[in-house]
C-alpha cells in the first residue's frame, strides 16, 4: 500500500492535473484536500477534447476509482453540480457512490463571490488578482466560525438562523464598498434545490480515507495551487487562502503525518504566475511571450494570460524543503525546446550578498537579484514530444533535467513532454517506491 501526495512547487499551473491523471491509474482512491474551484486541472486524453476539472478530483476520469472532496476544501455548490453534470455527460462518474463530498467541507455562498469581486475592485492597482471564486471570503468565514458546512447546507430549514446574522455584517461591508445589499431570501433561493442534488454525495470523507488506509489501499492526494501560493509560506499577501503544502493532506482529512509514503513535487521546466505579486525570474520580453505561446499559458480557470520566466531553482529549493519532496516531476520540457541558451536561476543575491532562505516580504523578494547560469538549449522538433524514455531526449535536455536533479538533490522520477496521458516518461513510479 502507498499514500502518495502530489503538490505544486511553483505558483500553481505546474501541470499537476495531467500528472495526477497518469498516477491515478495506480491508485484506488483520489482525494482532493484543499482549495476549491480556483483550481483548474486540465487532462488530455488522446482522441478527445481536454477536460478541465475545478472541484472533482482528476481520478474521476479513470473508471472504477473512488474520488473524494476532503473536509479542508471549499465547495461552490453551483460549480460542483455543473461539474458533475459535465463529467456525467462526457461518460465519467456514472456509477453511484464514485464521488464522496465531505460533509465538513465549507460551502462557497453567493456573498463570498460577491465580496471577493467587490474587494478586488476596491483595491484597484493593488489587487491580488484572485480567481474571483469566493475562496478567500469563504475561508475567512470558516476561521471566524461563521461558515456553512455541507452538513449545514443540507438542512436549508436551519440555514436562515445560521447565516442571517452573518449577512447583516456582510451587508454593512457591501455598503462600505458601494455594492448592493443582499436579501436573505435571495441567498436562500437556490439552496433547497442544490442541497437535494448534493445530498447523495455527502458523507464522512475522513472516515472513508482512514478506513481505506487501514485496508492497505493506494491513495493519491491531489494538491491544488502551489507552494509559493501557500497562505503561510508563499509570497504573502499575493497568495491563496489555504495551505497548499503536502502536510495539508493530513490536517484536511484527519490522519497522522507518518502515513504519507511519498511526496511528489511537480514543477514546470520554466516558471509561470497568474495574478499579481513578485516574480524574480519573470521575462517581460519576446522570450517570455514565446513561452506563453508555445506553452499555451492562459489560465484554465480564468483564461488570463500567465506571466512567464526562467526556472527558479532558489524558489524551488524552498518549495522542496517546505513539502519534504521525495520525488520530482518536471513538466512541459517540450515547451523549452527551440531556445538556444537557457538561463537557470541558481540562487538569489540581496545587496550583493548571497541570500539564504526565502524572503518574508514582497519588498525584499522584489529586491533580490537572481543569479543565472546559462545552459545549452535543444532544438525545437517533434522528437522530444515523442520521447518515452529518458535516453530518447536530446542530450542538452537530459543535461537540463540532471542539473535540476543535482541542484535540488531530489530525483526526477517523471518527465512530461506533452499534454496527453502518453506524453510521459515515468522513470520511477511513486506508488512502488516505498
Is residue 41 part of the annotated active site? The answer reads yes
* Residue 67, CA distances (Å) to 11, 20, 101, 260, 309 in order: 25, 12, 9, 18, 34
Residues ≥6 apart with Cβ < 8 Å to 257: 247, 250
C-alpha to C-alpha distance for 280 and 310, rounded to whole angstroms: 9
**Contact call for residues 294 and 338 (beta carbons, < 8 A):** yes
Put residue 69 in one of left, alpha, beta given phi > 0 → left and psi -120 to 50 → alpha: beta
**Contact call for residues 36 and 135 (beta carbons, < 8 A):** yes
Q: What is the DSSP letter of 183?
A: -
Is residue 261 part of the annotated active site? The answer reads no
Q: Return the closest-CA partner of residue 202 out of 95, 81, 107, 101.
A: 101
C-alpha to C-alpha distance for 142 and 136, rounded to whole angstroms: 10
**Contact call for residues 332 and 423 (beta carbons, < 8 A):** no
Which positions touch ligand IMP (CB under 6 A)? 11-13, 38-40, 128-131, 133, 135-136, 224-225, 229, 238, 240-241, 274-275
Q: Return the closest-CA partner of residue 287 out of 377, 407, 371, 418.
A: 377
Residue 294 cell numbers, joined? 508555445
C-alpha to C-alpha distance for 3 and 8, rounded to whole angstroms: 17
Residue 75 cell numbers, joined? 465547495
C-alpha to C-alpha distance for 115 and 130, rounded to whole angstroms: 12
Shortest Cβ 121–ligand IMP spacing (Å): 14
Q: Packing angle between helix 77-89 and helix 191-198, nearest 10 degrees?
A: 50
Entry field: residues in the chain: 434
**Contact call for residues 41 and 53 (beta carbons, < 8 A):** yes
Q: Packing angle between helix 156-176 and helix 110-123, nearest 10 degrees?
A: 10
Integer-rounded Cα Rg, in Å, for the chain is 22
Give 109 or 159: the residue with its C-beta nearer to ligand IMP.
109
Q: Return the closest-CA partner of residue 60 out of 27, 93, 86, 84.
A: 93
- Which residue do the cell numbers 510521459 mark? 424
Any idea which residues carry the catalytic annotation? 13, 41
Amino acid at each position: 500500500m502507498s499514500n502518495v501526495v502530489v503538490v505544486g512547487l511553483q505558483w500553481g499551473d505546474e501541470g499537476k492535473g495531467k500528472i495526477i491523471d497518469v498516477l491515478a491509474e495506480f491508485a484506488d482512491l483520489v482525494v482532493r484536500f484543499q482549495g476549491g474551484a480556483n483550481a483548474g486541472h486540465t487532462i488530455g486524453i488522446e482522441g478527445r477534447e481536454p477536460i478541465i476539472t475545478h472541484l472533482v478530483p482528476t481520478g474521476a476520469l479513470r473508471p472504477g476509482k473512488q474520488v473524494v472532496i476532503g473536509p479542508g476544501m471549499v465547495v461552490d455548490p453551483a460549480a460542483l453540480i455543473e461539474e458533475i453534470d459535465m463529467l456525467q455527460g462526457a461518460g465519467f462518474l456514472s456509477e453511484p457512490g464514485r464521488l464522496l463530498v465531505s460533509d465538513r467541507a465549507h460551502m462557497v455562498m453567493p456573498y463570498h463571490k460577491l465580496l471577493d469581486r467587490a474587494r478586488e475592485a476596491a483595491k484597484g492597482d493593488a489587487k491580488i488578482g484572485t480567481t474571483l471564486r469566493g475562496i478567500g471570503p469563504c475561508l475567512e468565514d470558516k476561521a471566524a466560525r461563521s461558515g456553512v458546512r455541507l452538513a449545514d447546507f443540507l438542512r436549508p430549514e436551519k440555514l436562515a438562523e445560521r447565516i442571517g446574522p452573518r449577512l447583516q455584517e456582510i451587508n454593512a461591508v457591501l455598503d462600505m464598498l458601494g455594492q448592493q445589499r443582499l436579501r436573505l431570501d435571495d441567498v436562500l433561493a437556490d439552496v433547497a434545490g442544490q442541497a437535494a442534488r448534493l445530498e447523495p454525495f455527502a458523507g464522512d470523507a475522513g472516515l472513508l480515507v482512514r478506513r481505506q488506509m487501514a485496508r492497505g489501499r493506494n491513495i493519491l492526494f491531489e494538491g491544488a495551487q502551489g507552494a509559493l501560493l501557500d497562505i503561510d509560506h508563499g509570497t504573502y499577501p499575493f497568495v491563496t487562502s489555504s495551505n497548499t503544502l503536502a502536510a495539508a493532506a493530513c490536517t484536511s482529512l484527519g490522519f497522522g503525518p507518518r502515513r504519507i509514503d511519498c511526496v511528489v513535487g511537480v514543477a514546470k521546466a520554466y516558471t509561470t504566475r497568474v495574478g499579481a505579486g513578485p516574480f524574480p525570474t519573470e521575462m517581460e520580453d519576446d522570450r517570455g511571450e514565446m513561452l506563453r505561446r508555445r506553452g499555451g499559458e492562459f489560465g484554465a480557470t480564468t483564461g488570463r494570460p500567465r506571466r512567464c520566466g526562467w526556472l527558479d531553482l532558489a524558489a524551488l529549493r524552498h518549495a522542496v524543503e517546505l513539502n519534504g519532496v521525495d520525488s520530482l516531476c518536471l513538466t512541459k520540457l517540450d515547451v523549452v525546446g527551440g531556445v538556444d541558451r537557457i538561463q537557470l536561476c541558481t540562487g538569489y543575491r540581496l545587496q550583493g550578498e548571497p541570500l539564504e532562505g526565502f524572503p518574508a516580504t514582497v519588498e525584499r523578494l522584489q529586491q533580490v537579484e537572481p543569479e543565472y547560469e546559462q545552459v545549452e538549449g535543444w532544438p525545437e522538433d517533434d522528437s522530444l514530444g515523442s520521447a518515452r524514455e529518458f535516453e530518447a531526449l536530446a542530450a542538452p535536455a537530459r543535461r537540463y533535467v540532471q542539473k535540476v536533479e543535482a541542484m535540488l538533490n531530489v530525483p526526477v522520477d517523471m518527465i512530461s513532454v506533452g499534454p496527453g496521458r502518453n506524453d510521459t516518461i515515468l522513470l520511477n513510479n511513486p506508488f512502488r517506491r516505498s
